[in-house]
Amino acid sequence: MRQRHLGSDGLVTSALGMGCMGLSQGYGPADDDESIRAVRRAAELGVTMFDTAMSYGQGHNERLVGRALAGLPWQVQVATKFGIVRGPGGVHVDGRPEHVRGYCEASLARLGVEVIDLYYLHRVDPQVPVADTIGAMAQLVAEGKVRHLGVSEVTPAQLARAAAVHPISAVQFEWSLLWREPEDDIVPAARRLGVGIVPYSPLGRGMLTASLTRDDIDRSDFRRGDPRFQGGDLDTNLARVAALRRVAGGLGITPAQLALAWLLAQGPDVVPVPGTRRLDRIEQNVAAAGGQLSEAGLRALDDAVPRAAWVGDRRSFAAVSTSRRAGPA
């Protein structure tokens, strides 16, 4: 698979990564053996970046990814995150500098590795200056526990403050044909600062695969709470998916491949991390990374499903409040 550079401090990864959250939470029951096969198949096909977090499944996901990647003959990279804490009392955000080392060491143990390739602050703690949290993360780099730093769901101002403390290799946020608001602020901010872009949910939480059923929505904790998957907004978006399917058919690819190809065409600093448990979907995703969407294909897509065509505001669902509670990843 083609390689891409994230940031300015030497992180090189496959053009497409793999998001692993759904192997532990959010999208209905999962089978560990099936999940391990999916991760290993992705690595076999050239995916090198595997994205997890300490909060996914309350540690289950890191342990699962560690098991899946252990002993593989291919060089791979693990990205994990801290800052969203799930427990019996609910979910909260914690970016206190004195806790960063403990979170990192716990992730290293669960993953079964000596170094984390890319370590993200999952959410900015509203009660802690982001520079203070990044300072504690930078110390982990100095000690050799972490290679590169990232941040997730930040504002342009927060990204600038983070980058002033230590080079930030990647910023992660939701970006897809279904949700394009990042193009107004955080995408240009990242490029001004030389920070790589890692879109999560690049297939619109499954909407852009053109294969979702209402049962799929009902089984998913995340989709059930997302306005884009409810009522009239869902009906409107499904009509747009039909248009997406027609464009993809004309190009001889699947709607999911078209959605990924569009995102990859947004710049060489973009590394999407789609997630799936199915081997056939992994193979299709990897194939999308191997091609290139023509200017004519981009124009046809924009004519059929322009940005304004999609409806529903994910911000009300994913916001982090000042009470330190966190929305979904």
Query: Looking at the domain assignment, is residue 239 inside a domain?
Result: no
CATH number of the structural domain spanning residue 133: 3.20.20.100
What residues pair up with 116 in beta bridges, in sequence order? 146
Residue 319 pLDDT greater than 70, yes or no: no
Query: Looking at the domain assignment, is residue 110 inside a domain?
Result: yes
56 flagged as catalytic: yes
Q: How far is the CA of 88 from the CAs of 30, 151, 243, in angstroms?
A: 21, 26, 43
Is residue 228 classed as helix, strand or coil in its secondary structure? helix
Contact 264, 270 (CB under 8 A): yes
Query: Looking at the domain assignment, is residue 223 inside a domain?
Result: no
| Region 275-301 average pLDDT | 94
pLDDT digits (tens, 9 = 90+) for 189-219: 999 999 999 999 999 999 999 988 777 777 7
The amino acid occupying position 129 is: P
Contact 130, 121 (CB under 8 A): yes
Cβ of 239: how many Cβ atoms within 10 Å? Answer: 11
Domain residues for the domain of 41 are 3-206+257-293+314-318
Q: Which two tokens stand for residue 193?
A: 């600062």
Contact 54, 81 (CB under 8 A): yes
- Name the pairing type of β-strands 90-93 and 84-87: antiparallel
What residues pair up with 319 in beta bridges, in sequence order? none
Q: Which two tokens stand for residue 119?
A: 């370590």
Which is the catalytic residue, given 27, 56, 103, 119?
56
Query: Looking at the domain assignment, is residue 54 inside a domain?
Result: yes
Query: Looking at the domain assignment, is residue 309 inside a domain?
Result: no
Q: Which two tokens stand for residue 177?
A: 């044909």
Confidence of residue 94 (pLDDT cuts 50, 70, 90): very high
Query: Looking at the domain assignment, is residue 15 inside a domain?
Result: yes
pLDDT digits (tens, 9 = 90+) for 212-260: 877 777 776 677 778 898 888 898 999 999 999 999 999 999 999 999 9
Mean pLDDT score of the chain: 92
Number of domains the chain contains: 1
Query: Looking at the domain assignment, is residue 241 inside a domain?
Result: no
Query: Looking at the domain assignment, is residue 284 inside a domain?
Result: yes
